Structure 1
Amino acid sequence: MTTSTSKPRPRKQLRFSLRDEKIKGLIWQVVVVGITVAVVAWLWSNTSHNLAVRRISTGFAFLGREAGMPIVDTWLPYSPKDTYFWAFIVGIVNTLRVAVIGIVLATVLGTIVGIARLSSNWLLSRVAAVYVEVLRDIPLLLQLLFWYVLMQGLPGARAAWNPLDGVFLSNRGLVLPSIPLGTGQLWVLLTLLLALIAFYLLWRHLIAQQMQDGRVRRAWPYALALLMIPVAVSWSLGVSWAVTMPELRGFNFVGGWTLSPEYFSLLIALVTYTSAFIAEIVRSGIQAVSRGQWDAALALGLRRSFVLRQIVLPQALRVIIPPMTSQYLNLTKNSSLAVAIGYQDIVSIANTTLNQTGQAIDAIALIMLVFLTISLSISLFMNWYNAHIALVER
């Protein structure tokens, strides 16, 4: 009986050669990272030295001091005795007031104008084309100043325009009827929001079941049942939904909801300017859907409005969403132009803080952090939605 001895497998020798592409790539990465770290360290050291020589203090301790600045137009309670930190919170809310409402209105208006550009009505399509070309070619700052000067040229409160009952437009802004929101109203609205979310999830579940067995399941009984929840909460809390109508007393209006001239001008400028770009995005997205989709749907006797809403637009969204995200980000960043007309957003409040405290680097860093956070939030949401509506290959 013979035993065979197996020879050990030779070890793989490590070879270090500058001609190896992996080694060259690793060296270049180390060099680039080293240079970047060195530049950042030099800038930090140079900045710290210059600040120390000029006796300029840094840090965010100033946020706890009394602000002493007036903020006129705000949804949050504020007084000059509040801290700089609360003043920044108020500025962030004012910025979000413009960005969120502006995004919604610009999307609706841009979609309408984009569809109008494809209308078979020659006059409607030409008007929509003129709207897009004119607003896209005029700088946003000029449009903002135009609307602000136009608002300042309106008659005073005593001679305000009254196109509808309870609606007044003057150089004091736009005054609308309102419903006072207290703790009870907020609880009812929160319950309504939760009911809407629950109905949306239930509706998707019913659609999924219908796709499996083909049985049509009605969703309106569930909607009615969920709607009764906020109604019951409102009744149990004794919430009043009385509408407050504005009244002219003296030289100004009392009651109602007032949109200041600065806010109203900024909102109009941002919405009309951004909607012109969104209109072109919507138009190109609709035209990206093949003509055969229209022909097949119309051959089945479907109405054009139904075809557009249920067949074409869902497919066009896959083309529309990515460039639409850029327009949302542009609208949010362009809201910083509010400082040109005196609307107190985060940029205006940070500039006032900078002048009062001398904390230039810290105030600018806070502005950058706020806009970065808002922009990343918009991007993450739009990327999630874009992935949600993407075609799934089978």
Structure 2
Amino acid sequence: MALVQDIGAGAPWRPSRRFALKLAGVVALALFLAWLGHNVAENMAQRGMHFSFDFLHDPFGVDISFHILPWQLGQSHGYALLVALVNTLFTAAIAILLASALGLLLGLMRLSGNPLASGASYAGIECVRNVPLLTQIIFLYIGALQLLPPARASIVLGPDIYLNVRGLFVPVPEWGWSWAVWPVAALSVLALLRAQWRQRVPAALLAAALATLFFAFAASWNRPVLRGFGFSGGWLLTPELLAVWIGVSVYVSAFIAEIVRSTIGGVAKGQREAAASLGLKWHQEMFLVILPQALRAMIPPLTNQYLNVVKATTLGAAVAFPEVVQVFARSIMNQTGRSVEIMLMILTIYVGLNLILASLMNAWNRRLEIPGR
């Protein structure tokens, strides 16, 4: 065996045909990008333009209606891009959460033995996924949210939660501790996530610990209060955000429901029989036996749907929601005329976001894989 290894180690390396094809593809792509860059540079030079990102330091003269980060009119274009990027990430995150929950619910209803629940789920899924998403967002914004009552006649959805034509008012925590404790909180969260990753802490305990940390920092709550003809205090989720959030979530949930239905149907029938023989109830059988096995097959198609959620947030530009495309590709481009630089930055942002999200989902998929399969 050692003689064979020595002979193989001393043999001259010869590139395989597959390696040659990969190398040729990389070279061809590099040449194409070089030609494209040269062509763009020549066209910009003919028009008296130059490639530069100096405009990011110029003041942005348009107000941003919804923002999570602090914002004041006249701040730089670069900071406006950061504010819009955080808006995009926030919208994508809450849309993924709502779409996943709705998709799971609709998928379980499709598998229900109740004909009313199964039929309602089937009709809703077919109606939603066969209507363009942009149409649904515009309909929600114009045909639903703009018809809500004024502030004085707000719809009360819960304690200190009000819905009216101006949007959704919710209470927001006010942080009472100093910024010095944030590193301690961050290290605590990382330690809990590391323990959960190694399966030392149950998911429920992890969620409870994170919730405890969150509310521990909230010394008090800033609640919306009706004063005059509007609310003051709290946090306002604008109608534009609600239209994008609900529209994207409902649309993607229809596809997630079919993923849930098909993957649960792929679990062996013997697993159900084994759960029934142990005397498990339906919810125990589903959430303790069936869904954990189906989850391994769900993750790859779910990854595609989550990537679609990130890209679908760009449709917020249709209802003037201040996400990356609305703020950067419309307002800032109109002010500066830097179309090439702006489109290149938007391309880089969305490619980067999708690659990061896909990497996280792939890591989760590898963690759930059964060794040896």
Q: Distance in 1 between matches of 2:236 and 2:74?
A: 24
Mapping of residues 73-152 of structure 1, within 5 Å: 73-149=66-142, 150-152=144-146
Deviation at 1:197, TM superposition (A): 2.9
Equivalence for 1:374: 353
Q: Distance in 2 between matches of 1:200 and 1:100?
A: 21
Q: Deviations over 1:288-323 (max 9, x none)?
A: 001111011101211121111111111101111100
Whether the 8 Å contact between 1:199 and 1:223 is mirrored in structure 2 is no
After superposition, the Cα gap between the structure-2 partners of 1:306 and 1:201, relative to the gap in structure 1 and judged at 3 Å, is same
Question: Residue type of the partner of 1:346?
Answer: V
Equivalence for 1:263: 241
SS in 1 for 2:222: coil
Q: Distance in 2 between matches of 1:68 and 1:88?
A: 13
Whether the 8 Å contact between 1:248 and 1:254 is mirrored in structure 2 is yes
Equivalence for 1:214: none
SS in 2 for 1:301: coil
Deviation at 1:34, TM superposition (A): 5.8
Question: Residue type of the partner of 2:79?
Answer: W
SS in 1 for 2:65: coil
Equivalence for 1:169: 163
Q: Deviations over 1:353-381 (max 9, x none)?
A: 11111110111111111111110111000
Equivalence for 2:275: 297
Deviation at 1:96, TM superposition (A): 0.3
TM-score of the pair, normalised by structure 2: 0.86
Equivalence for 2:363: 384
From 326, 330, 342, the equivalent of 1:348 is: 326
Q: Distance in 2 between matches of 1:315 and 1:361?
A: 47
Identical pairs, percent: 35
Whether the 8 Å contact between 1:57 and 1:359 is mirrored in structure 2 is no
Equivalence for 2:3: none
Q: Distance in 1 between matches of 2:119 and 2:290?
A: 22
Cα RMSD over matched residues? 3.1
1:393 aligns with 2:372: yes
SS in 2 for 1:312: helix
Deviation at 1:57, TM superposition (A): 2.6
Mapping of residues 248-259 of structure 1, within 5 Å: 248-259=226-237
Equivalence for 2:8: none
Between stretches 334-343 and 307-316, larger displacement belongs to 307-316
SS in 2 for 1:241: strand
The count of corresponding residues between Structure 1 and Structure 2 is 355
Between stretches 147-156 and 162-171, larger displacement belongs to 162-171
Question: Residue type of the partner of 1:308?
Answer: M
Deviation at 1:177, TM superposition (A): 2.4
Q: Deviations over 1:317-345 (max 9, x none)?
A: 11111000000000110100000000000
Question: Residue type of the partner of 2:154?
Answer: A
From 195, 200, 214, the equivalent of 2:196 is: 200
Between stretches 249-258 and 192-201, larger displacement belongs to 192-201
Equivalence for 1:310: 288
Whether the 8 Å contact between 2:176 and 2:220 is mirrored in structure 1 is no
Q: Distance in 1 between matches of 2:186 and 2:277?
A: 45
Q: Distance in 1 between matches of 2:325 and 2:332?
A: 10
Q: Distance in 2 between matches of 1:142 and 1:73?
A: 22
Equivalence for 1:364: 343
Q: Deviations over 1:69-123 (max 9, x none)?
A: 2112101111122111111100100000111111111111111111111011111
Deviation at 1:393, TM superposition (A): 2.2
Whether the 8 Å contact between 1:281 and 1:323 is mirrored in structure 2 is yes
Residue ranges of structure 1 left out of the alignment (5+ in a row): 1-13, 15-21, 208-218
Q: Distance in 2 between matches of 1:249 and 1:386?
A: 50
From 55, 65, 77, the equivalent of 1:72 is: 65
Whether the 8 Å contact between 1:174 and 1:261 is mirrored in structure 2 is yes
After superposition, the Cα gap between the structure-2 partners of 1:125 and 1:346, relative to the gap in structure 1 and judged at 3 Å, is same
Between stretches 154-163 and 47-56, larger displacement belongs to 154-163
After superposition, the Cα gap between the structure-2 partners of 1:288 and 1:189, relative to the gap in structure 1 and judged at 3 Å, is same
Q: Distance in 2 between matches of 1:137 and 1:302?
A: 38
